Amino acid sequence: MTDTLERLELDRATGPVLEQVWRTIVWDDPVNLMTYVTYVFQSYFGYPRDEAERLMLLVHHEGRAVVASGNREAMERHVQAMHGYGLQASVSKADP
Amino acid sequence: MIVAGRTGSDGVRLVLEAEEAMLLSELADQVDSVLLLGAEDDPALGRLLPNAYPDDADAAREFARYTRGSLVDGKRQAAQSVRDATAVGEGERLVEIELDQVQAWGWLTFLTDLRLILAERVGLGEEGTPEQDEQRDDYLRAAYEWAGFVQGSMLEVLDPTES
């Protein structure tokens, strides 16, 4: 019990750092087929087809979409994977 | 060209005319060359290896430093496997290729890289590009459309939940 309380205190103290959220952004590219972008979102991120299509259309119409968020390392891994698949992607810090 | 599912397993089966296979093999070799020999400021390479931090030059450089090698390796392997699979034997009129889900992924990414390079070379998506060499551009544009057709056909067959 004491243990837990201490950990809670610790969490609170380091909270702002841990909570710093980063994002994986995919940018529109007129070259890539819409079906391919949907396929990548489904296959790599494991999104259900509906969600993958929603994100693909967001990229297509808005010029970009946030496809994942979390810690910086994980976002860099995602962006590297997206570049591997030929998608234009970048890492960005979420607005506070 | 025929693109179909494989009976009894995942992946895709392609049947190419010898001319189509030779064209694909040649294009795959060129993609490999761009990755191997492309100048640092080649805009086509910029399409294949985009900036991960558009607003932070230091982070962008750092990201490129530790991802570029493996990205280039992966893309070159994909291009080389397409080149090898499309080799045409003496007197062959058709080339039949069976790809499992993982191999098919390699093809999809190669076709994407190919289209990114071709688009950059022809200036697709840019307005008012002067026509330098119309015949060459027509050829590249046809290859671009065809690569998109092959990719689209493969995507109709492949199931993203299996990879």
pLDDT in tens, B40-70: 889 999 999 999 999 999 999 999 999 999 9
- Domain membership of residue B47 (yes or no) is yes
CA distance B129 to B132: 9
When pLDDT is cut at 50, 70 and 90, the band that residue B89 belongs to is: confident
Q: Which amino acid is at B118?
A: L
**Residue contacts between A and B (CB atoms, under 8 Å):** 80
pTM: 0.87
- B119 assigned to some structural domain: yes
CB nearest to B116's CB, from A43, A86, A89? A86
Which domain covers residue B40, as residue numbers? 27-87+101-162
Residue B157 lies in a domain: yes
Residue B74 in any domain: the answer is yes
Nearest CA in chain A to B77: A84
Residue B101 near residue B11, CB atoms below 8 Å? yes
Contact A68, A81 (CB under 8 A): no
pLDDT digits (tens, 9 = 90+) for B10-20: 899 999 999 99
- Number of domains observed in the structure of chain B: 1
Query: Is residue B7 domain-resident?
Result: no
Output DSSP code: residue B84.
Answer: H
Query: Is 80 exceeded by the pLDDT of residue B30?
Result: yes
ipTM of the complex: 0.91
Return d(Cα A91, Cα A24) in angstroms, integer.
5
B10 belongs to a structural domain: no
Question: Tell me: the pLDDT tens digits for A53-84?
Answer: 999 999 999 999 999 999 999 999 999 999 99
Enumerate residues 6+ apart whose C-beta is below 8 A from B110.
B28, B31, B75, B78, B79, B81, B82
Which chain B residues touch A79 with a CB distance below 8 Å?
A: 52, 63
The pair of three-digit structure tokens given for residue B88, joined into one six-digit string = 């045409």
In a domain, B9, yes or no: no
Of A33, A43, A76, the CB nearest to B160: A43
Query: From start to end of chain A, where are the E strands?
Result: 22-27, 64-70, 89-93
CA dihedral B26, B46, A26, A51 (to 10 degrees): 0
